[in-house]
Amino acid sequence: MIAPIVTFPPKHPLHILHLEDSLVDHRLTTVTLRRAGMAFTIAHADTLDTFIALARTGAFDVILADYRLPGFTALDAWQEVSLQEKHPPFILLSGAIGEAAAVDAMRLGIADYVLKDDMARLPHVIQRACEVHEARLARERAIADLATSQRRLADLTEHLQSSIEQERAAIAREIHDDIGGALTAIRFDLAWVARHTTQVQVRTHTQAATSMLQHALGASQRIMMNLRPPILDQGLVAAVQWLADSFERRTGVPTHVRTSAANMALTNDMQLVAYRTAQEALTNISKYAAAHQVRIDLSDCEGVLTLEISDDGCGIEPTALTKPKAFGIQGLHERARTVDGWLDISSQLGKGTSVILSIPLPCALPPKGEMQ
């Protein structure tokens, strides 16, 4: 039988560990590999203790092992090797193993097997096992790199969300302290002018200015509420109810809120994530859903905070949930991850949409006044 053509990089010789009690078979293995043009070094072990000592050095690219040896089998050697992280391919090279036993061994994780009567196949089997091993290691590295990138992205998202909320709070305070204070002072001045003038035209202008000023005050209050709603200080239930009432007044769409408790022991971060999720969901409903009714369910049962916002509107196209520029939806998912939560969106065309936020609750939370 003609041996398959095998090519190995000459500058990177393989380091082989051979577990074999027959010195003749060990030498035959060495000759077979040399005839195939393989660049390699080979270490020989004929006892389990010697094998274990050599295998633990981690210096080998591939392991060859006879199946039956005095007092033990290759499976005993494999049990030791399999415990090692990123262990090299383990190939059975034996004349005393049936095909069924070889298949069972491969199910345990052994890379391949070669019968001694078919030794010419060995170089090809080694090359294939090494290629599969390298591909597996590359895949594991890629998975690890992806996980690292996802963790970094999650950390960045959390940092950005925190920075945004801090900036919103700072802007809200500035609007309240500076703009709100100035507008209130102007309103008092206009009222003084209206009381002390006798000119009808001046009164007319002050009344118009006062009306516009009142509109500006209302707008500034709405902006402050959107930036950092003070009502969150009263708890998530009150804040969600306020959102629902505001949404109903603004859109005319009946909005019903159902909660499992009047007060819920939540961290500030959990409250803010849930509030922003409800806010974004209601904004999307007002823009796109054409809904006739909205229902909000808020529950803290069974160790999970669950917020569900459902509507009976037109629904969402399936492709819209996964399109690359669905930043609003992606933002909700990323925001949920900042508190170890997750977001589910289910929708049917013509039958409405449900947005469900789930956040695991700690076993025991401190009293509300102690939350950070």
DSSP 146-212: HHHHHHHHHHHHHHHHHHHHHHHHHHHHHIIIIIIHHHHHHHHHHHHHHHH---HHHHHHHHHHHHH
Same domain, 134 and 235: no
Residue 171 resides in a domain: no
Contact 43, 16 (CB under 8 A): yes
**Could you give the CA distance from residue 131 to residue 136 in angstroms, rounded to a whole number?**
9
Say whether pLDDT at 162 is over 90: no
Q: Mean pLDDT, to the nearest integer, of 330-336?
A: 84
Domain count, the chain: 2
Residue 219 resides in a domain: no
- Of 103, 125, 140, the last residue of a domain is 140
**What is the token pair recorded at 164?**
């945004």
- Of 108, 140, 172, the last residue of a domain is 140
- Return the percentage of the chain with pLDDT > 70, whole number: 90
Q: What is the pLDDT at residue 229?
A: 73
Q: What is the pLDDT at residue 132?
A: 92
Same domain, 360 and 250: yes
**Could you tell me the CATH number of the domain that includes residue 123?**
3.40.50.2300
**What is the token pair recorded at 53?**
């000592």
Q: Mean pLDDT, to the nearest integer, of 83-98?
A: 87
Determine whether 336 is exposed, middle or buried from the number of CB atoms within 10 Å of its CB (0-12, 13-18, 19+): buried
Residue 201 resides in a domain: no
Say whether pLDDT at 143 is over 70: yes
Same domain, 135 and 242: no
Query: Residue 221: helix, strand or coil by DSSP?
Result: helix
**Could you give the CA distance from residue 17 to residue 90 in angstroms, rounded to a whole number?**
10
- Of 117, 140, 163, the last residue of a domain is 140
Same domain, 242 and 131: no
Same domain, 244 and 360: yes
- Residue 2 pLDDT level (bands cut at 50, 70, 90): very low
More confident residue, 8 or 138: 138
- Residue 3 pLDDT level (bands cut at 50, 70, 90): very low
Q: Mean pLDDT, to the nearest integer, of 32-36?
A: 93
The lowest-confidence range among 211-220, 241-250, 354-363 is 211-220
**Could you tell me the CATH number of the domain that includes residue 278?**
3.30.565.10
Residue 45 resides in a domain: yes
Residue 152 resides in a domain: no
Q: Mean pLDDT, to the nearest integer, of 212-234?
A: 79
Residue 212 resides in a domain: no
Domain span including residue 121: 14-140
Same domain, 127 and 260: no
Residue 221 resides in a domain: no
- Residue 151 pLDDT level (bands cut at 50, 70, 90): confident
Same domain, 134 and 262: no
Residue 288 resides in a domain: yes
**What is the token pair recorded at 202?**
């001046």
Same domain, 132 and 239: no
Provide the residue type at 179 as one letter.
I
- Return the percentage of the chain with pLDDT > 90, whole number: 49
